[in-house]
Every structure is written in structure tokens, then in C-alpha cells.
A and B are shown apart, each in its own frame.
Chain A
Amino acid sequence: MFAAEEAVANPWIYDNVWLIPALPAASFVLILFFGKRLPYKGAEIGITALLAAFGLALIATFTWIGDIQGLEESEGEEHALVTDGGTQTVVLTAEAGEEHGPARGAPVVNEVEWFGIGTGANQVTLGSDGVEAVDGAEGEEAAEPSSGFNISIGTLVDGQSVMLLFVVTFISLLVHVYSTDYVNGDRRYTHYFAFLSLFTASMLFMVLASSTLQMIVGWELVGVCSFVLIGHWWEEKPNSDAALKAFLTNRVGDVGLLIGVTILYFAAGRSFSFVTINEMAVSGEISQNTLTIAAVCLMAAVMSKSGQFILHTWLPDAMAGPTPVSALIHAATMVVAGVYMIGRLYPVFYEGFSIAGSSINLMAFIGGLTTVGGGALAFVQRDIKKVLAYSTVSQLGYMVMALGVGAYTAGLFHLFTHAFFKACLFLGAGSVSHACHHSFDMKADMGGLRKYMPKTFWTFVIGSAALAGIPPLAGFWSKDEILVGTGAFPGTGGNGTYTIPLIFGLITAAMTAAYMTRTIYLTFFGEYRGHGHPHESGPRITTPLIILAFMAVVVGFLNMPSGFVDFLRLPSGWAHLFEDWVEPAGIASFVGVENGFTHAKPSLLLAILATGLAVGAGVVVWRYYERLYAKDPKATDYVDGPVANNELVAAGHRVLVEKYYLDHLYTDVIAGGIKGPVARAANWFNQNVLDGVVHAAARSSVGLGRFVYRFVDQGLVDGTVNASGRTASESGQFLRRVQTGQVREYATLMFGAAAVLAAVFIFAF
């Protein structure tokens, strides 16, 4: 495998990229201990740290881009894969070099030993080619390498992680600034900023993870930050319920994650390293069967973290947290962790689900289902944040679907663009609610806000348009690429014919435009329905909005198809920049897989069709509300609309309002640890039930626990010990079936047992 090996100095930032998560982590500790004594209650530390982290992320981004472009200029040069003691070992995969063109975008791994376990004889040698520990990255003391194999901690820099570094630090910075105004005067202002910092640090830690084990750590840490921030106002029960639900739902998925990582760990010859696992997955050293099982397990984790059907229910509830948190965590960054993981282990999923040349697979199906199902739910929400939450679910489905059909770059690109416009929308919603006395109810407390808060209005419209995929805004480009990538539209090529995902994608495109139009109408048009006088928010809120809106306009141009670039007679280097930067090519861990990346030929017809659908749907909704407001500018629903008149429509509406009854399924039927609504909790505590009959228990694991506890534990097991004499108690002692406390009974048991045991020993020897 080692065709060439030479030492090249690493760019400084690659060796020290660990600083990026370290800064917010330090900020967390500082805010926690000193925040309250500072003039701005700790916010300044967080913002400073984030500014520095953002600066470093920018350096990393430009270094990476510079590398890639330098590489493109010197076609065919080998590329850095691994570093060794501050120098860089250049590894060129021979086959890759010959068959797949120049290697590009290989990950730069920087690892130190974390800990070592096991020196057993069944140990398999490290499978990764040349990935070795180097010192100096994390501040951990490097223990002496034992004869066993070691588990490393380190950073992995490649296009994907650099992209997310940029997104996370950028949006986190804006959210920090925004929050200084939005949560001003909050009961736990300092605490809020501390956890914002911790979240950012954990997310960055996860993004830079070089191994699956490290990813689990980051994955869970972002989860717990999400838990804390959703439950920020924990005095109110619904908030802490939502926080619990989020955490527990994620835990369900984590079971899959733990198992999946375990399977991959052993399958890859005892390695957690992403590089090793990917290499072995593509080289066929891990059997297809194993990969499929691992991929299915990991898919469960994706479903919970990235809000895919049917584990998405926590995401809308998570809106109980402060709005900036929703923007940062539950729209732009944490929820894409699942998508990010798919990208990280793409060869595993790619081989495991046999994505190439297929027409449907589990990932594409779940993604497609989520994108349509989530979008439909957005129609019936009163709460503006819930609309956005379901929209997020829907868009995450889009991303997963894209990865499922093999459109790797398109999926990640959509992740990238979505982060900006969805953050913009969430922050916009926060701004609106700031004006409307902290209400999020569009129907009761909003309407006509266009006049009062123009900046918010316009940024919201731009964000919505980007989300709906109206050209030339960001969402259009990424969405179009996904639709093309399904390969089902005539003339696009692609590596499979994913017809169903294409249809799902088109439906979603139309739905997205429709529900966003509805949201804009309900919020900004008509007449103000709330009380008091709404006003535009302050500059610390509007500036981030404007910046994000700007990004929502421009980021799409990063990945224009070359045909379009030619059409506009732009320099050809402007085409598919994002693809060049992010997509790996010709490296050992992606051999073969990158062939399967769908680089379908963009189709003008498809673009027009999708845009037409979106615009058409938007216009329909627009007409609907125009007519409504013409009748009564304060109305929100037709009094005798289809929902009132048509039973079928009414039933459908009911299903949507009830969120497909999934919550009922979870809480009432599966119940158990997943959620504890008031009624259940009350029931839980109901001593009468606890002390009472059996039948109420069987329906839930709580009930099951109670059942087992009472009858098996206290009755059977305990009873056996406590005693034999009870069995003979034929007299009226029936109700006193608790311990008699009789020493004699214990003695009986003791002697009896001694006799039995003696017999056992006598006859056994």
C-alpha cells in the first residue's frame, strides 16, 4: 500500500486544530467559575472564545481549500494522509493513483494514545495502514505504548470536518451575539452561556473526532448539552419533560450507535479509527453482511439524533428551549450529527446498504419518508417554532435521503446551506416572538408584523425562499443536486434509479414552499392579532439575521453545476467548488465508493419542474390567504373550509394534528422510559395502583418493573429466603405474607441447606 513515503511539514493548523474545540471548552469552565462576577455575566468570555475559534476555523478552511487547489494545479501529485511527529507522511494508494486519478481530500489524522486495553492473544494487529500515534495533539499524557493495542484520541481534518467547523463556529458565534439580547435578564443568563460554550466545544470535538469512540463521546456530550438547554427553564414541567424526551429518545438511538460501533470495532480488526474502518469496508475485508448489520444499527442512531421517522418526535418538543438554542442545536448543528456520521462512515453505509445501482434502500427510504412526513406536519402547527422544527425534520430527511441515494456531496451540501437559512429562520422566529411578548402562537398573537419589523420580515422571507428552493438562493442549488442525484429523472444519469426518493423530493419541494408561505402569511400579513405594540428588535438581534440572510443568498453559488457556469460564461474554476473541497477522491478509505458518488448531469428540465412545483404551491397558499384576509384581516382559518366540510380532509387534518399518533404510541403504548406526561406521571405515583392490582401494570415497562418488583423480587426471590415456614402457614396468616422475622425459620433454612449441600458434595466427589 505504501507507494511513496516522504516527510512534509504539516500546516500549523492541522496539528493544532484541537484548539478549536479547546477554546469553547475553556470558556465553559471560565464562565462557570467566574462568569457571574464579570460585567457582562460571562457572555463576553463565550463570544471571545468563539471569535477566536471562528478565526481558527477560517484558517483551517482556507488552508484546506488552498491545499486542494494547490493539488489540482499539480495534477496527480500524491497527497498527505498521515502525520508523524509534526511531519507528514505522504501515502499514496498505488491503485488509487493509477486507476482513480489524483488523490484528493484525504483526511489528515493526528492522534495520541488515549489508553490501552488488552494484550490478549486474540488480538489482531492494527489494520490501518500507517496510521500511527503522534504526540502533541491533545494535552493528554501519552502513556508508554504497551504490547497491546491502544486506543487513540485525536483529530481528523478533511473536507467534511472543515466544512462543519466553519458552520458550527460561524453560527455559534452569531447565536452568542444574538443571545446577549434575546435572553437578556434571564434567570440563568450565565449558566446559559456556559452551556452554549460547552455545546459548541462538544460539537466541535465530535466534528474533529478521528475515531468512532471519540465520536460517541462527542455525540453524547452534545446530547446532554441539548438536554440542559432544552430544559433551561426547568421550573416548568413541560420544559423538563421535553428535555427528558429528547435525551431518552436519543438514548434509544444510542443503543444502535453503541452496537454499531462495537461491531465495526471488531470487524475492522479492533480499531475505532474512521480511516481504518472505511478502508476495510471498501477493501472488502469486512463482510457485506457485517456491514449491513452495522449500518442498520448506526441508522438507528441517525434516526434519533437527526430526527428521522419514527424517532423524530423529540425534535418538535425540543422547541421548549430558548430560541437561539433551537437555532444552533436543533436546526443547524447537533441534529445534523447523524448526517455527519453517515458521511464519516460513508463507505460502511455505502457497502452495507448496497447503494450503488439500486433503486431503494433503508436509508433512502427513511429519509424520503421523513422528508414528506415531516413536511406534512408543518402545515397544521400554530406554533411558529414547531413549523420550523418540522421543516427541519423534513430537511434532515432530505439530507439522509441524498446520502441514501449515493449523492454524497449533495447531501453534505444541503447540510451546509440548510444550516444558514434554517438558523436565519429560527432566529427570525425568535425576533418575532421577542416582539410579541414571547409568544410563538402564530394564530393567536401574530399577524401583520411586516409593518412593525421590516428587517425581520425581509430576512425571514429570504430564509423561507432559500428553504423553499427558489432560485438563485442557497436551497435551490442543494435541493436540485439531490433531486438530480436520485438518478431517476430521465437524462440525469446517476448511479441508480431512485424513483421513489425523487417523487418524495418533489412533493417535499412543493410542500416546503406551501407551508413556509402559510407561515409568512400568518405571521407577517393580515392584521396584528396579539396585544400591545410590537416593535423591531435591537441590533444585536437583527445583525445576525442579516448576516445569515446574506449567507442564505450566496452559499448556494459555491456548488454551481459546470453547465450553468459555462452558460453564464463564468470562469470554469467556479463550478462545483464545494464538491472539490469536501469530496474525497482517490484515497484508500474511499476507494470505489467515490466512484459511486452520484455526479449526475444536472437537468434544466428537472430544475424548472421543481421550481415550478414550489412556486405553484406557494402561489396556491398565497391565494388562499389573500382571499381569507380579504374577508377578515384578523382571521386565521376559513370558518367553513374543507376541514369543516369534508370528512376525509378532516380526518387527515386530525392525523396531522395528532402527529400521526406517534406520541400516543410512545407514551401510551410503548410508554416506559421514553416519556412521562402528566397523566402518566400521576399514575406512576399512584400508590393505589402501586399497592393494588396486577393488570394495570403490564402495558408499559414501568408497569412491568412494578410487576416484577412486587411479585418476583419481593414475592418469589425474597420469599424463598425469608422462608420456608410460611409455606406451611395454613392458619389465618394469609395476609401477613411478609417476613416473620423468625430466627427459627432462618435456622431451618440454614440446616436444610447445609444438609442438601453436604449431600451434593458427598455425592459429587
Chain B
Amino acid sequence: MIGLLAQEAALTDTGEWIANGFFYAMAAVAILGGLKMVTTANVVHAALYLLVVLSAVAGTYVILGAEFVAVTQVLIYLGAIMVLLLFGVMLTRAKLGGEEDLDHEQRWIGALVAAGMLAVMSYSIWEAFDTQKLPGDRTPQLTQQVSDEIFSTYIVPFEALSVLLLAALIGAVVVARRD
């Protein structure tokens, strides 16, 4: 609901910085949560941090006026995928406490690569979009608009996606079947 309020505020000039403030809060949560997720020594904790990150991201969707996406994010990610992951954690290694060797010895290479990518990306983003602003008069997109779009322009990808989901479903069953 805070999101919606912020959205309302964003429509007015005075509310712009409220939205900004909300965004930075969400961003901070997301980034910190992400960092914790990839560094924590406890698998279950990592899953919970992911939960945090995903929620924060859902928050940013709201700021961007993508309510339906935000709701979907919450429903599917937080509701389904997280549960799946937690099941995965428990099925594979039921240990709920901390572990020493969750990371590779050479994780600094990963860090290096990630930092390098971040640098390159940041630079290019900065170069490309400098101070371009989002349109100020943006309104939350209605769910109906989204569905119209999906079922007209993007109907073929949508169908393809449904086939993919089906295939993934069957595939997952076949792969994980115990025999």
C-alpha cells in the first residue's frame, strides 16, 4: 500500500522526491539483501534473503507503475518459486545450520568478474542515459491493458511459453522421477 501511496505522490511535482526516497529505500534493501544472499553461510538464510530482495524488487515495479507485474512477482516468486527452492534445500541437504564450504576457494575471481561487469555496465549506462527522466505523467498501467496486449500482439510468444512451461513440467517430473 505504501507503494500505491508513493505512486500517487509521484504524479505530483512535490511528491516526486517521496517516490525517489521510496525507490532508494527499496534499492538499498534489494542490494543489501542480495549481497547477504550470496555471502551468507546458511542456505536457508540465503533463501530468506532472496525473499527480501524479491519483495524489494516488487516494490520498484510498483514505483514504475507496473502493478500487475509486482503482484505476479509476489505471487509467483514469493509464493511458488521460494517454496520450491526451500523444498530443494531441504530435500538435498536437510542441514539448517551454517556451513563452512558454501563458497569456492577462488571466489575472488567471481568477485573480480562481477565488479568488472558492474564497472563496464555502469559506465555505459551513465554514458547512454545520462540525465534522461522518466515521463512525469505516467499512470499505473491497468491489468486490462496488459492482458489485451498479451492476448493480441504477443499471443504467439505466449503460446510458445505455455508449451515451454508444459515441457518444463514434464521434463522436471521425468528428470526427478525416482527410478
Contacts and interface: CB of A to CB of B under 8 A. Distances in A.
Interface of A: 724-725, 728-729, 731, 744, 748, 751-752, 754-756, 758-759, 762
A724 B107 CA distance: 12
A758 B109 contact: no
B113 A759 contact: no
A731 B104 CA distance: 12
Contacts of A724: 109
Given A744-B104, A762-B124, A762-B127, A754 B117 contact: yes
Contacts of B114: 751
A219 to B, nearest CB: 58
Given A755-B116, A756-B116, 5 more contacts: A725-B106, A728-B106, A758-B124, A762-B123, A762-B127
A748 B120 contact: no
Contacts of B116: 752, 755-756
B21 to A, nearest CB: 32
Contacts of B123: 762
Nearest to A757: B120
Contacts of A728: 105-106, 108-109
Nearest 4 CB-CB pairs, A to B? A728-B106, A755-B117, A755-B116, A752-B113
A759 B120 contact: yes
B110 interface: yes
A614 to B, nearest CB: 83
17 contacts: A728-B105, A731-B105, A748-B110, A748-B113, A751-B114, A751-B117, A752-B113, A752-B116, A755-B113, A755-B116, A755-B117, A755-B120, A756-B116, A758-B121, A758-B124, A759-B120, A762-B120
Interface string B114-145: 10110011011001000000000000000000
B124 to A, nearest CB: 5
Given A758-B124, A759-B120, A762-B123, A751 B106 contact: no
Name B's interface SS.
helix
A576 to B, nearest CB: 86
Contacts of B112: 752
B127 A725 contact: no
Contacts of B108: 728
A724 B121 CA distance: 22
Residue with the greatest number of chain A CB neighbours at <10 A, chosen from B108, B109, B114, B121: B109
Interface string B129-167: 000000000000000000000000000000000000000
Contacts of B109: 724-725, 728, 748
B11 to A, nearest CB: 36
A729 to B, nearest CB: 7
Contacts of B106: 725, 728-729
Nearest to A751: B113
Contacts of A762: 120, 123-124, 127
A725 B107 CA distance: 9
A723 to B, nearest CB: 10
> Which size bracket describes the interface of B in this complex?
10 to 19
Nearest to A750: B113
Contacts of A756: 116
A618 B120 CA distance: 90
Interface in B71-127: 104-106, 108-110, 112-114, 116-117, 120-121, 123-124, 127
Contacts of A759: 120
A740 to B, nearest CB: 11
Nearest to B110: A748
Contacts of A751: 113-114, 117
A748 B111 CA distance: 10
Residue with the greatest number of chain A CB neighbours at <10 A, chosen from B106, B116, B124: B106
Contacts of A748: 109-110, 113
Nearest to B116: A755
A751 B120 CA distance: 12
A746 to B, nearest CB: 12
Nearest to B106: A728
A631 B177 CA distance: 99
B120 to A, nearest CB: 5
A752 B108 CA distance: 13
A219 B112 CA distance: 61
Nearest to B115: A755
A729 B109 CA distance: 11
Residue with the greatest number of chain A CB neighbours at <10 A, chosen from B116, B120, B123: B120
A465 B1 CA distance: 120
Nearest to B124: A762
Contacts of A755: 113, 116-117, 120
A724 B124 CA distance: 26
Nearest to B123: A762
A748 to B, nearest CB: 6
A744 B110 CA distance: 10
A134 to B, nearest CB: 66
A423 B68 CA distance: 99
Nearest to A731: B105
Nearest to B128: A762
Contacts of B121: 758
A728 B110 CA distance: 12
A762 B120 CA distance: 8
Contacts of B110: 748
Contacts of A744: 104
Nearest to B127: A762
A725 B120 CA distance: 22
A102 B106 CA distance: 89
Contacts of A758: 117, 120-121, 124
Interface string B44-82: 000000000000000000000000000000000000000
A162 to B, nearest CB: 76
A73 to B, nearest CB: 91
A400 B2 CA distance: 102
A571 B31 CA distance: 115
A755 B114 CA distance: 9
A753 to B, nearest CB: 9
A731 B105 CA distance: 10
A754 B109 CA distance: 15
Nearest to B112: A752
A751 B114 CA distance: 8
A729 B106 CA distance: 8
A754 B121 CA distance: 11
A653 to B, nearest CB: 69
Contacts of A729: 106
A751 B116 CA distance: 10
Nearest to A729: B106
A286 B109 CA distance: 62
A751 B111 CA distance: 11
Contacts of A725: 106, 109
Contacts of A731: 105
B110 to A, nearest CB: 7
B4 to A, nearest CB: 38
A728 B116 CA distance: 18
